[in-house]
Structure 1
Amino acid sequence: MTQSKRIGLVGLSAGGSSWASRSHLSYLNSNPNYTITALQNSSKESAEAAAKAWNLPNVSTYGDPESLARDPNVDIIAVSVNVPQHYKLTKPAIEAGKDIFVEWPLAKNLAEAEELYKLAQEKGVKTMVGLQARYNPSVIKAREIVKSGKLGRILQTTMFGHGLLYSPQIPPSYEYTLPVENGANLLTVPFAHAVDGLAYVLGELESVSATLGNLRPELSVIDGDGKELRKAKKTAHDVVSVTGTLVEGGGVVEITYMGGISRTDRNFYWEINGTEGSLLLEAVTFGHIQMYELTVKLILGDGEAKKVEDVQVEKPGEPDKGDHSFNVGKAWDAWAENSEDIVDFKHAVLRHKMVDAIYRSAEKGTKEKYL
């Protein structure tokens, strides 16, 4: 029997609101391929509190990444914290020769991501990044249908979504997303997760042409009761619009993401049109397809011969109740199985290059390549 891999988890808070507790903990605790053997937070005391709160009595606890990286009872370090901290928490793990998982985005900018990827190559460590939209059962089903040829040649695709971030009000815990240089915003998180799913189904874009808008440059920071605490400036963009053509077949691509939640209940809509048929994927709730369920419709033929089929897909857990472990768990499954579907640092750098190309295109008004 293969020995389970020992996980050093970074970012598990004592409360239930951290992404680590909502997406990784239940999966890692229930899968025999993995064992959590260490926790690291901003302080040793914080890590100890998390170990107690989540009934992890036998784990080692640390307050700094270097100490965790030196732990001989850790095989894989999983970094699940806010994006601006990714680089400083990831680099010591790679330097120590540990295999490494990091949430998406890999880093707050392309330069940091490329440095981490190069270092991982030099050290020969195994890497994974949390671009788990491609593990959404609906996205997998869409890929299967496209690859089967049922739609014929892909002519065009339109994707539209609301990314929750940047409604007129924001809690203090999300203030770090307001400066564009922090690399955690509408473009880099919900849009990038969704476009990675699009690329998984249809392939990469030959180039991108982008328009970005920061139309709400000041937001209200509110407490849990909705009371305004202060005003905060925002330099990150709240509207992202990208067009391009597919490398495979030249089909035209249109993608738009907005902040907040849709007033018309259209939080995510993705239409794929081919010569023989179309696919329609829609959100059951929110526009984060890496987290939430999508419905799938297959439409074949035209006019009176048109047939519409509701495609049955596996439901990804109970995300509306705060459990986001389904798609994340599929990513960990791929790691355990040494699957070709592991999304590694090389792929993360490619997606960072795409994001960088979108910024350049919007700034210069030019068509930009990223491949």
Structure 2
Amino acid sequence: MAPIRVGIIGLTTVTPSDQGYTPGSWGLVHLTALTSSPHYKIVALCNSTAEKARKSIEQNKLDPATKAYGSPEELAQDPEVDLVVVSVHVDKHYDLAKPALLNKKSVFVEFPLSAKYPEVEELVKLAEQGNVKTIVGAQARGNLAFAKVSELIKSKAIGDVTSSSWVSHMPLSTWDGMLDALKDFTTLEGGPSRVNIALGHGLEPFLHALGEFKTVQAIFKTHGKIIPLFDTTGKVVNPEFKTTAPEYILIQGVLESGAVASINLRFVANSVDDATIRWIISGTEGELQFVSPAESYVQADLSQSKLRLKKWKGEVEEIDFKREEPAHITSGTNLVINTARLYESFATGNENGYPSFESARKVHNLIEQIKKVAVWAP
């Protein structure tokens, strides 16, 4: 089978940080996943100018025949491009993805799909109208442990789900301040906000496994309302930046299935038990427990997670969620591996293995509901 021909929007030469949050670096994750896979071939790059695209082609040592574009419309009109990858700041997702959809190209857009819900709905509608295949970079869907949880729920391993309790933290505390380039993380309406990024990335595998909420309630709390912003050298550039995104997010409600559910997300430097997630799902015939190590569930492999199942009349069973995978996936670093899994699922036709625009719409819709009903604690 001929490789899927890819055009990337947003591939720069910035080096990722150990945490993977360096602005502009995420395109390099896509680069690694794509060049390692036999299913894909990068044939074009698009940046703000064609000259910048040519420079990226050269510095990332891509095939000199790779085309350079300075507009998403030119890239989308290239008949030799099958898949357009959008890996830029979330505020530009809509404008860059739309031309690809109008030209009926498959599209991979990083999560969040957009900072504005009406734009999310429009992108979903365009994809449906054009019968376009879509992928969203909510990397947790590629995590093998999350995939196993979903599989066990759908196979009725614990019977019908009656309740779910998700307690997690993100190791991105702002108590000591925040990098100026990441200040949108602490802004409620910012595209890459705590709510969109941290909560949204967790909601995607949650909804995939358990289904949507029928009713929902929420409490938001911000402890550090004023924080310093600093540059990459540690110099404070704004000593009193006002934050509007919550540090503590409490959600509870009833799922469409009738099960009750709660989600507790906090932003602290680390956790007392070195666990990022503790997720317990109860059913009519037993219970599942998922515990992940102290890694960010946004993109980490979480291969050291523990998944246990207990039938009400049986013993606790450790569930093996690992599986054989191609070397071009397992050779990837912790930041790359789940993105590589999304690409692998797309190339091999495993639609359950990657989120679509419609999957993202469900997450964004729930976030909008949560923001509307949230009560702000003083």
Q: Give the direction of change, closer, same or farther, for the CA distance of 1:45–1:285 in structure 2 (3 Å limit).
A: farther
Q: Determine whether 1:178 maps to 2:177.
A: no
Please report the RMSD computed on the Cα atoms of aligned residues, expressed in angstroms.
Answer: 2.6
Report how far residue 243 of structure 1 moved: 0.4
Is the 8 Å Cα contact of residues 297 and 308 (structure 1) preserved in structure 2?
no
Spell out structure 1 runs of 4+ moving beyond 4 A. 315-319
The amino acid across from 1:188 in the alignment is: N
The amino acid across from 2:255 in the alignment is: L
Give distance in 2, aligned partners of 1:35 and 1:299: 41
The amino acid across from 1:27 in the alignment is: A
Q: Summarize the alignment of residues 305-316 of structure 1 with structure 2, pairs less than 5 Å apart.
A: 307-314=315-322
Give distance in 2, aligned partners of 1:289 and 1:281: 16
Give distance in 2, aligned partners of 1:107 and 1:339: 25
User: 3-state DSSP class of the match of 1:272?
Assistant: strand
Is the 8 Å Cα contact of residues 165 and 185 (structure 1) preserved in structure 2?
no
Give distance in 1, aligned partners of 2:226 and 2:59: 37
Aligned to 1:369: none
Report how far residue 314 of structure 1 moved: 2.6
Report how far residue 318 of structure 1 moved: 8.0
1:156-214: per-residue Cα shift (whole Å, max 9, x none)?
21111222345222213312333322222122112122122112222222221111223
Q: Determine whether 1:38 maps to 2:38.
A: no
Aligned to 2:125: 118
TM-score where L is the length of structure 2: 0.86
Give distance in 2, aligned partners of 1:188 and 1:363: 18
Q: Determine whether 1:50 maps to 2:56.
A: yes
Aligned to 1:153: 160
Give distance in 1, aligned partners of 2:368 and 2:194: 14
Is the 8 Å Cα contact of residues 45 and 57 (structure 2) preserved in structure 1?
yes
The amino acid across from 1:50 in the alignment is: S
Report how far residue 356 of structure 1 moved: 0.8
The amino acid across from 2:184 in the alignment is: Y
Give distance in 2, aligned partners of 1:25 and 1:266: 30
Q: Give the direction of change, closer, same or farther, for the CA distance of 1:14–1:289 in structure 2 (3 Å limit).
A: closer
Is the 8 Å Cα contact of residues 203 and 363 (structure 2) preserved in structure 1?
no
Give distance in 1, aligned partners of 2:81 and 2:173: 38
1:319-347: per-residue Cα shift (whole Å, max 9, x none)?
9x954222222222222233332422222
The amino acid across from 2:305 in the alignment is: T
Give distance in 2, aligned partners of 1:191 and 1:223: 26
Is the 8 Å Cα contact of residues 285 and 292 (structure 1) preserved in structure 2?
no
Q: Give the direction of change, closer, same or farther, for the CA distance of 1:263–1:27 in structure 2 (3 Å limit).
A: closer
Give distance in 2, aligned partners of 1:121 and 1:185: 28
Aligned length: 359
Give distance in 2, aligned partners of 1:323 and 1:108: 27
Aligned to 2:245: 236
1:75-125: per-residue Cα shift (whole Å, max 9, x none)?
211101121111111122222332211111111121111112222333332
Q: Give the direction of change, closer, same or farther, for the CA distance of 1:289–1:97 in structure 2 (3 Å limit).
A: closer
Q: Determine whether 1:349 maps to 2:349.
A: no
Q: Determine whether 1:326 maps to 2:333.
A: no
The amino acid across from 2:102 in the alignment is: E
Aligned to 1:368: none
User: 3-state DSSP class of the match of 1:180?
Assistant: coil
TM-score where L is the length of structure 1: 0.87
1:235-259: per-residue Cα shift (whole Å, max 9, x none)?
22222111012222x2221101122
Is the 8 Å Cα contact of residues 318 and 324 (structure 1) preserved in structure 2?
no
Report how far residue 36 of structure 1 moved: 0.6
Give distance in 1, aligned partners of 2:41 and 2:311: 50
Gaps of 5+ in 2: 17-24
Give distance in 1, aligned partners of 2:124 and 2:52: 29
Gaps of 5+ in 1: 366-371
Give distance in 2, aligned partners of 1:147 and 1:121: 26
